[in-house]
């Protein structure tokens, strides 16, 4: 056990999934400033450091409110923050509520090595065994094939295609029973 592995952390061969630290702001702001990363997120625009700080605070409030949330995903080998994976309540898509969504975002340098899938598999296991959740959804903007592929690799299937009301973008909802 590492010193940062508390009872809400998850461990995979290459990754530590943990609660957020104040010092994660630099790393997360760097990721949210990358246009390729943000292309299929919300309205597709990059986020300022101040906007990222607000998101980080919201992720922490989500943990406090629900007892689960998005994890900071740290590379064990270097300690680097690669991005996040975890759970959120998708209030932005009222037609599928109530629901719990699994999601992911990694800095560009960390794509293409199976890290999102490795992290998400740990979250799925934890959702089933520790949280007792019965169903997970995942939502991607149409065209985000890498994210769709992670959903399929997790065992999710297409539930519906619809429009996200606050952005007007077409999204696909995947789902799996646990």
Ligand X SMILES: CC(C)(COP(=O)(O)OP(=O)(O)OC[C@H]1O[C@@H](n2cnc3c(N)ncnc32)[C@H](O)[C@@H]1OP(=O)(O)O)[C@@H](O)C(=O)NCCC(=O)NCCS
Residues forming the site for ligand X (CB under 6 A): 37, 40-41, 103-106, 111-117, 140, 144-147, 149-150
Query: How far from 174 is each of 46, 61, 82, 121, 161, CA to CA, in Å?
Result: 25, 26, 24, 15, 9
- 126 vs 150 by CB, closer to ligand X: 150
Contact 157, 176 (CB under 8 A): yes
Closest CB 15 distance from ligand X, rounded Å = 10
6 vs 91 by CB, closer to ligand X = 91
Give min distance, CB of 120 to ligand X, in A. Answer: 8
**Phi and psi (nearest 5°) for 4?**
-95, 5
Using the minimum distance from each CB to ligand X, give the nearer residue, 7 or 43. 43
Nearer to ligand X, 6 or 145 (CB): 145
Distance CA 170, CA 141 (A): 6
State the nearest-atom distance from the C-beta of 172 to ligand X, in Å.
9
Q: What is the Cα–Cα distance from 128 to 16, expressed in whole angstroms?
A: 19
In whole angstroms, the minimum distance from the beta carbon of 63 to ligand X comes to: 20
Quick one: tokens of 123?
């979250």
């Amino acid at each position: 056990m590492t010193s940062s592995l508390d009872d809400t952390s998850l461990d995979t061969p290459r990754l530590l999934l943990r609660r957020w630290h104040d010092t994660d702001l630099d790393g997360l702001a760097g990721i949210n400033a990358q246009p390729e990363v943000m292309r299929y997120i919300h309205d597709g625009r990059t986020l300022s450091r101040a906007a990222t700080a607000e998101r980080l605070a919201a992720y922490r409030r989500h943990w406090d409110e629900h007892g689960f949330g998005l994890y900071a995903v740290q590379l064990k080998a270097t300690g680097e923050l690669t991005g996040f994976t975890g759970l959120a309540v998708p209030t932005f898509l009222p037609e599928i509520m109530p629901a719990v969504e699994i999601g992911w975002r990694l800095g560009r340098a960390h794509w293409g090595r199976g890290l999102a899938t490795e992290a998400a598999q740990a979250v799925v296991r934890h959702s089933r065994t520790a949280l007792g959740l019965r169903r997970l959804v995942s939502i991607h903007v149409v065209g985000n094939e890498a994210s769709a592929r992670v959903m399929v690799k997790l065992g999710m299937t297409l539930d519906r295609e619809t429009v996200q009301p606050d952005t007007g973008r077409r999204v696909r909802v995947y789902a799996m029973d646990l």
